Each structure stands twice: as C-alpha cells, then as structure tokens.
Chain A
Amino acid sequence: MAGAWIIADNREQTLELLTIGRELATTMGTKLTALLWQDQELADDYISHGADEILLLPPLPEDQPPGAYIPVIADEAQKKDPDIILMASTVRGKEMAARIATRLNTGLCSNCIALNLGEDGKTVEMERLVFGGTAVQKVTCTVRPAMATIPLKTFEPAVKQEGRQGDIRELPAPAPSPVKILERKPRETEAKDISESRIVVCVGRGIEKEEDLALARKLAHALGGEIGCTRPISEENHWLPEELCIGISGISVKPDLYIGLGISGQVQHVTGIRDAKVICAVNTDENAPIFAAADYGIVGNLYDVVPKLIEAFKT
C-alpha cells in the first residue's frame, strides 16, 4: 500500500496542502488522500481540487478537541501505510502531528518550508529553519511514513478542475478524549492581515513612546502601506496587536518594500521578512545587524529621517 495523505483544520489550509500533495502523488504515481472532519460537505470540493480519496471523520461533540481523532487516524495510517503524511502547521495541527508520529514511530519535520522528492523517487527531502532562522536544516525520515507540518501560505491554494472523480470513505468515531474544551473565546482584536501587503513599515525598539507610532503610520500612509512591529513592541509594550508582530514566532511578510524603523535586526525578526523584495532600514547604529540584511539602509535617527522621508515620498 502507499499514498500521500494531507490533514488540515480547515478548507484554506487543505487547499494549500492539496497543491503540494497532488504534485507529490503524481510524481510518485500514487493516490492523494485528504482527511476531513469539519464541514462534511467539502468532500466533493476537495476531490475537485486534487484529492483522489476523502477519509471522513464523524463530527465531534462540542467539548471535544480534534486531538480525539488521533487514535483513529494513526490506526488507519498503520493499515494503509502511506508514503507521506503532510499536516498544517497550526497550533492543533502541530500537536496532532507529533502525537500521530509517535504512534507510528516515525520522524516528523516540523514547520517544513520546502519539500522535494530525492533522486530515488522515494525519499522526501525536507527543509526547515533552525536557531531562530540563522540556519537551514535539511532532513529525511528514516522510517515510513515521512511526516511534515507545513506553515500556512507555504504553497498556493490548489486550483479547481472540473470532472474530477474520487472516493469517499468513512472512518469510525473516536473514543472521547480526556481533554475537554470548557469554553472557546474568540479572538478579540481583528487586526489587519499584513502578510499580503505590498508595502510594510515596521517599528522596533528604537521607537521611544507609543505616541510616536503616529510617525510610522504617517510614513506607511504616504507610501500606501501598512505597519507591523517586532516582538518587544507587541509582547512587552503592548503598543500594537500581536497579529502585526513579524518574525519567526509571529507572521511572515513578503512585501515589495519593507522599511524597518529602529530595528536592530535580530535573526528571529529578519526571518519573517526574508521573502521581501526590497528591505530598507533606518537605525542610528551603523553596526546594527539589520543593515547586513537590508538592501538600502539609512544610518540616522528615525525621528530626524522619517519626517524627511514622508516629505520626499509625498512629492
């Protein structure tokens, strides 16, 4: 038996995994299976986006976490022996993946950012960032199945194809998990999603007071962009919501233009901007690491430089 499996919490993540899953399944000449437990209506939708087979898990009671499915998923994987299992690198997905991998006694590449089939057509070579983004680690699983969790937006969503056929199979209901959900509190702040913004002005510790964020906002406005921040600004100062925190533990951005204001350039932050087309930085310290990671830097005080930039960009 063989196959490629994908497992994700929702449709958006599933479609992204279908893209890479389809590519792998086709190259390996095997079947692509998608698991589904949320909206059961999506089975046909996933098939039309590239899945050959859907494994349907029955809906859970309100107080049960998706972790309850782990024994059922692991049992099925033991029976079907897939070549690879890809899961969405979300909070729930990461925990589930580690626990499924343990049950299957296999290796797991967490937060996998690139994935290729080796020359033998079987070994899956995977890449991930380590040491806060300082280094790239390449790994392979030495046992079947290979497993990886994949961050959101690593792959484009799969495109719908008309006339695709697939099978739908139902898996048994799981036993209740000892972990119960007592309450779900929805996210309070609905900050703007800047992960797709074309221009991002980012603030760091060089900003002295919360009021001074206005200066960064003005610059962003003059450029038609959005503002983001480094971890200390959202986590320690609470000046901006954490949805705007850019870095390895926050969001990744890939704008055409990134301008960092008063940012030292710790690798944990720089990792979140590595896909930006042009990186600019303003910092008083000419030895700040951000300048090594920037295309264009201005060595100067942001309180002096930013008003000049706003003026220049206006004209």
Chain B
Amino acid sequence: MPNIVVCFKWVIDEAYIRRGSSGELDFSSVSYKISDYDRNAIEEAVRLRNESGGRVAAVTVGSPEATKGLKDALSRGPDQAYFINDASFENIEPSQTSAILADVIGSKIEYDLIICGEGSSDLYTQQVGPRLAERLGIPCISFVLKLTIDGNHIIAERKVEDGVEVTAAPMPVLVTVLPDINTPRIPGVKDTLMASKKEVVNIAKDDLAQTYEPTLQTTAMTAASMERRCVKFGAEPGDIAGFVEALEKEGVLR
C-alpha cells in the first residue's frame, strides 16, 4: 500500500489583484486559495489511495498565516498534513521551496509516490516538482494526464508537444499533474468538519537541517501593461458602421 505525499501551495487569488494608478500592483483586497493545479494533485493522491490503500500526507511550505490552506487541503481527503512554516517563507523562490520540501520529506515522511501540480497559479515557474525529485534523487515524470500504480511501478501518460508518452518508473517516484487528469472535488460542510480533526504536523525553520539561500532574485514586479484604445460601440446600425470604419482606418482589413 503506497505512501503518497502531495505538495500544495497556498497562493494569492490572481483575480483580486488590481492595477494601481502608476502601474504598481495593488494587493489590498486579495484573498487566498489552494493553487489551481494543486487541487488536481490532491484529488489524484486521494483517488489513488482510495483505489490502492495507503495514506496521503499533504505538505506545504509557507508563512504561518497559511493555516486556512491546511484546512482546505485536508477537507479534500488527505489523512494528515505537514505545515513547514516561518515568516521568512512568504516570498521564497523555487530552489528554496524544493530544498525545504526535500529536507522535510526526505527526513520525516515515508513516501512511495510524490504528486505535485505542474505549476502554481501565482508564479507558475513549474520548477518545484522536478527540483524536488532531483534533490531526493528519485525519478521524475512531469506533465502527467493519467496515472496508474502497477505493482511497484508507476505508469504515467504525459502530454508532450508531439503527442502523449506512456512512461513507467519504479517507485519511489515524483509526478507533476496537469489539470486534465481529474476534476477536483468541492469540499462539503462534512468534509470541512472532518478536516479539523486530522493531524497537522508543524515544522519550524529550526527543524530543518540547514538554511537555503535564494538563487533567483526578484528585482521588480509591475502590472502587465495593456495600453488599448478602449472605444465602445453599441449594436445599432450606425455603431456597426462606425466599428467597421475604425477597423478600415487601422488598416487591418484586407
């Protein structure tokens, strides 16, 4: 029965980010969510456990405020959670996140299969899964749309540019999953109540073997500019004519 570890990130919901008057990002009214594709990762971990038995541990690295994310994650079916938290983990970059995850997973958690989302919906670097596999020295299969456990092997179909590759690797193995793999559940009230009874293991910065310095530095973060004319027309005949005339003047019609 496989021990499954699923990694997730508690992120800013990008739909609530506003653009300030001088192009700066306004985070004043944001809310948080479990990163979109990490929901698929959790769903897949829980589906495989329900099929093959075993346990699912959900692991996240973040600031101590991310506790809501733990409850959300656990309400989706994992058996327990590991919360690696420190105020300094708020804005870490992928090499640090993967190193911290490897530190904890490698020393404290039994695993046969690790599942990550293909990328987080905030920074979308798509690095943490493959980096974590490399740190742990285990095989990695990324961008997976179908996953099966076959004895001590994982069979995974991965989507590549020229089609689908059916691949196999011996466990322990890490996979990153695409949103195509399943439809994540929407937790109900009962699931949320159950979640609060599940075990959460808190891990502090001091519990790690070492500190991990950043290798990538963010020098600026600005709103993406979309300078457009923003002319609006109605649907009356005169409007349609005005619209077509505008396009003719732009010289974009043949």
Contacts and interface: CB of A to CB of B under 8 A. Distances in A.
Interface in B113-148: 121-127, 129-131, 133-135, 139-143
A277 B252 contact: yes
Contact of A257 (B134, B164, B232, B253): B253
Interface in A63-117: 65, 67, 70, 90-92, 94-95, 98-99, 101-103, 105-111
B161 interface: yes
A245 B218 CA distance: 30
B25 A134 contact: yes
B228 interface: yes
B121 A132 contact: yes
B165 interface: yes
Contacts of A139: 216-219
Contact of B169 (A92, A178, A286): A178
Given A95-B130, A135-B222, A305-B235, A183 B166 contact: yes
Interface stretch (A14-22, A44-52, A161-169, A289-297): A289-297
B235 A308 contact: yes
Contact of B140 (A95, A103, A199, A291): A95
Contact of A92 (B131, B134, B160, B217): B160
Contacts of A248: 124
B232 A136 contact: no
Q: Tell me the dominant secondary structure on chain A's binding face.
A: mixed
Contacts of B250: 257, 277-278, 295
Interface residues of B, number: 77
A143 B239 CA distance: 57
A135 B156 CA distance: 34
A301 B240 CA distance: 13
Contacts of B221: 130, 135-138
Interface stretch (A26-34, A35-43, A184-192, A209-217): A184-192
Nearest to A92: B160
A304 B232 CA distance: 16
A247 to B, nearest CB: 12
A105 B221 CA distance: 24
Q: A interface, how many residues as a size bin?
A: 35 or more
Given A105-B95, A278-B250, A91 B160 contact: yes
Contacts of A304: 235
A185 B243 contact: no
B209 interface: no
A162 B152 CA distance: 54
Given A177-B139, A312-B241, A110 B159 contact: no
B181 interface: no
B124 A111 contact: yes
A257 to B, nearest CB: 4
Contacts of A297: 230-233
A180 interface: yes
Interface of B: 12, 14-15, 17, 19, 25, 93-95, 98, 121-127, 129-131, 133-135, 139-143, 155, 158-170, 179-180, 213-224, 226, 228-235, 237, 239-241, 243-244, 246-247, 250, 252-254
Given A94-B142, A99-B130, A136-B221, 15 more contacts: A67-B140, A108-B94, A130-B124, A133-B224, A134-B224, A178-B169, A181-B165, A182-B167, A223-B254, A235-B180, A279-B228, A296-B246, A297-B231, A309-B240, A309-B243
23 contacts: A9-B161, A65-B167, A67-B140, A98-B129, A99-B131, A102-B95, A107-B215, A111-B124, A131-B14, A134-B14, A137-B218, A141-B215, A142-B213, A178-B169, A182-B167, A186-B162, A257-B252, A295-B228, A296-B232, A297-B230, A298-B234, A298-B239, A305-B240
Interface of A: 9, 65, 67, 70, 90-92, 94-95, 98-99, 101-103, 105-111, 125, 129-143, 177-188, 199, 223-224, 235, 248, 256-257, 266-267, 270-271, 274, 277-280, 286, 291-301, 304-305, 308-309, 312-313
